[in-house]
Amino acid sequence: MSSVHRIAVIAGDGIGTEVMPEGLRVLEAAATKFGIGLQFDHFDFSSCDYYERHGKMLPDDWKEQIGGHDAIYFGAVGWPDKVPDHISLWGSLLMFRREFDQYVNVRPARLMPGVRAPVVRRDGSPREPGEIDMVIVRENTEGEYSSIGGRMYAGTEREIVVQETVMSRVGVDRVLRYAFEVARSRPKKHLTSATKSNGIAITMPYWDERVEAMAKEYPDVKVDKFHIDILTAHFVQRPDFFDVVVGSNLFGDILSDLGPACTGTIGIAPSANLNPTRQHPSLFEPVHGSAPDIAGQGIANPIGQIWCGAMMLDFLGHREAHDAIMRAIEACLAPGSDAPRTRDLGGQASTSDLGKAIAASVQAG
């Protein structure tokens, strides 16, 4: 990787265009402070505006335009009133995921200071920051989302519909390996695998088998498995138990929405679609979407965008810059901090007020 990281910036739609400048502001502050070379190249495709002008989400040569970048820093895509979701999503993000073989989806779910988690302890008292701190790792390319199957006798009483789950040894092992490595790098060194081998009797036992095989290579990692149904209950009732949680495409999809939801505002949570081989760019985007209901008002919380910028720097090898941004976010969220708060955090501040405060804290920190 060159000493200057080339970042493809795609702000996309709705609040994506409002939180992106704040993400870039904080990245610039961190780059200056730590002497990191970042080059931002902006692209207007993968947005519904682009679709309205060109009749498609991406130009024909999109792969040449962004495929050589070190990472893609993404805002949000989608504007259901103008373009149906299946077009905006399938025509952009899902193309990136497939073509750039972003086979791991990562979503940290951490309860931050100053945020009230909607899940409480059994005695009804609130969860403290740090009590929820997990990373959800989702298989991102195969599994239940194979699109292999078909329909017979359509529209008749005899109608039959089949969709296959595909698990390959390469596909399962590579996401498990990533999850084991993340678990090994964290203090608790605890990996939970989501399964359903009591109901899905062929593919899920295979998944369990591969987990057991790989666990032998990671004797320092404590491994357990739960069926997906009880696992969702545990997420709500005792989220403090979990550290790294790995799941197939479907189970990971469910858990990676549930985990961040347990930690409060959707405006804070980040996500990454990774190609850990680094043959292709990885993509970093907030969990939230384009939020048409609040777009254009300058009130969106920029922390999700800023946090994924931190994840991107970490992935590019700049752990200290990641940590500095996370400290700045936590300092601004901490109760008693005089940093401005956006509405979802109970304040009146604008998107850029909060972005500027975090950037200043990175510089000062």
Q: Which is nearer to ligand ATP, 294 or 362 (CB)?
A: 294
Residues of this chain, 93-122, that bind ligand ATP according to CB under 6 A: none
The single residue among 304, 309, 340, 355 that binds ligand ATP, judged by CB under 6 A, is: 304
Under the criterion CB under 6 A, does residue 266 sit at the interface with ligand ATP?
A: yes
> Cβ-closest residue to ligand ATP?
289
Q: Which is nearer to ligand ATP, 221 or 357 (CB)?
A: 357
The total of other beta-carbon atoms located within 10 Å of residue 348's CB is 10
**Nearest-angstrom CA–CA distance, 241 and 325:** 26
Under the criterion CB under 6 A, does residue 355 sit at the interface with ligand ATP?
A: no
Under the criterion CB under 6 A, does residue 344 sit at the interface with ligand ATP?
A: yes
Choices 219-227, 251-259, 272-280, 283-291; region in contact with ligand ATP by CB under 6 A: 283-291
Residues of this chain, 3-22, that bind ligand ATP according to CB under 6 A: 15, 19
Under the criterion CB under 6 A, does residue 293 sit at the interface with ligand ATP?
A: yes
Under the criterion CB under 6 A, does residue 301 sit at the interface with ligand ATP?
A: yes
Under the criterion CB under 6 A, does residue 300 sit at the interface with ligand ATP?
A: yes
Number of residues that bind ligand ATP (CB under 6 A): 15
Residues lying near ligand ATP in the complex (CB under 6 A) are found at 15, 19, 78, 266-267, 288-291, 293-294, 300-301, 304, 344
